[in-house]
C-alpha cells in the first residue's frame, strides 16, 4: 500500500514560512555575516525555528552531540522523520541547503529535486541521494512514491513547490508548527493557493510551550 503525501513546516503566527527573500549565497557567505540584511534574515529564521533546535532528535540527526529536550516537540520531529521514505524539494531549497547542510545531509533517504536542468544523481554519506527531475511535479511524485515504498512522501519545500502540489490535488495532509513569532513580511506559505478548488479539514492540534502543532487533511472543494 502506497504511503501518504504530506508537508511539514514551521510557520509564523501571521502566515510566513521564511523571512524576506535574500539570496542564499549571501546568507551562507563569509561576507554575508556583516550584511545587515543577512543578519536580520538569520535572526528571524532562528526565531522561527527556535522550537526545534533544542530537541534531542534534531541534535542526534545533525550529529550535534548528546543531550537535548524530550517531550511532545521532540516526538513530533522524530515521527516526521520516521514516516518519510522520500522527499521532494524545489531547486532553490536545494541550492540553499547544499550550502548549509553538513556533508552527511539530514535526510537519509532519496530526495527528488525539481529542476529544469539535467544532472546526474548526487550521493551523500548517510544514504541521502539527490535525484534531479526535469519533467514536472507528477513525474517527481511517481519516482518518490516508488522510492518510498510503504512510507510517506514529504514535500519539503519551499513554499512555491508546496503550493504547486496542493493546487494539483497531490497532497493528502500537512503538519504546521505554528511558532509564536510575527514576521510582518516574508515568504507566505499559502501564497497562490487555489482556495476555490482546495479545502482543509482539521485533524489535530498539539500545543506546547514552544509551538502549536496543527495537522490538516486536504480535500477537493
pLDDT (tens digit per residue) in 118-155: 999 999 999 999 999 999 999 999 999 999 999 999 99
Dihedral sign (CA 208, 48, 29, 103) = positive
User: Phi and psi at residue 137, in whole multiples of 5°?
Assistant: -70, -35
Q: What pLDDT does 1 receive? A: 55
Domain-located, residue 42: no
Domain-located, residue 189: yes
Domain-located, residue 147: yes
Domains in the chain, number: 1
User: Which burial class, exposed, middle or buried, applies to 60 when counting CB atoms under 10 A from its CB (0-12, 13-18, 19+)?
Assistant: middle
Look up the CATH number of the domain holding residue 212: 3.40.430.10
Domain-located, residue 216: yes
Question: Is the CB of residue 173 less than 8 Å from the CB of residue 218?
Answer: yes
Q: Say whether 116 sits in a helix, a strand or coil.
A: coil
Q: What pLDDT does 20 receive? A: 85
The parts of the chain modelled with pLDDT lower than 70 are 1
Domain-located, residue 133: yes
Domain-located, residue 93: yes
Q: Domain residues for 96?
A: 5-20+84-220
Domain-located, residue 75: no
Q: What pLDDT does 170 receive? A: 98
Model confidence over 39-61: pLDDT tens digits? 999 999 999 999 999 999 999 99
Q: Say whether 95 sits in a helix, a strand or coil.
A: helix
The beta strands (E) that lie in the chain are given as 5-12, 16-18, 84-90, 110-114, 122-124, 128-133, 152-157, 173-179, 187-188, 198-207, 212-220
pTM: 0.94
Domain-located, residue 48: no
Amino acid at each position: 500500500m502506497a504511503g501518504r503525501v504530506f508537508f511539514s513546516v514551521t510557520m509564523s503566527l501571521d502566515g510566513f514560512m521564511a523571512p524576506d527573500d535574500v539570496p542564499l549565497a549571501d546568507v551562507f557567505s563569509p561576507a554575508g555575516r556583516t550584511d545587515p540584511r543577512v543578519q536580520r534574515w538569520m535572526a528571524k529564521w532562528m526565531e522561527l525555528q527556535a522550537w526545534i533546535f533544542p530537541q534531542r532528535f534534531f541534535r542526534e540527526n545533525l550529529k550535534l552531540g548528546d543531550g537535548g529536550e524530550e517531550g511532545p516537540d521532540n516526538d513530533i520531529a522524530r515521527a516526521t522523520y520516521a514516516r518519510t521514505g522520500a522527499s521532494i524539494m524545489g531547486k532553490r531549497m536545494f541550492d540553499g541547503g547544499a550550502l548549509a547542510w553538513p556533508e552527511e545531509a539530514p535526510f537519509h533517504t532519496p530526495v527528488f529535486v525539481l529542476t529544469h536542468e539535467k544532472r546526474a544523481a548526487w550521493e551523500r554519506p548517510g544514504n541521502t541521494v539527490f535525484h534531479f527531475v526535469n519533467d514536472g511535479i507528477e513525474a517527481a511524485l511517481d519516482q518518490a512514491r516508488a522510492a518510498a515504498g510503504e512510507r510517506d512522501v514529504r514535500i519539503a519545500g519551499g513554499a512555491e513547490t508546496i503550493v504547486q502540489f496542493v493546487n494539483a490535488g497531490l497532497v493528502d495532509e500537512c503538519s504546521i508548527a505554528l511558532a509564536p513569532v510575527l514576521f510582518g513580511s516574508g515568504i507566505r506559505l499559502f501564497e497562490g493557493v487555489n482556495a476555490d478548488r482546495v479545502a482543509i479539514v482539521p485533524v489535530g492540534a498539539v500545543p506546547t510551550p514552544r509551538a502549536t502543532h496543527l495537522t490538516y487533511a486536504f480535500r477537493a472543494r
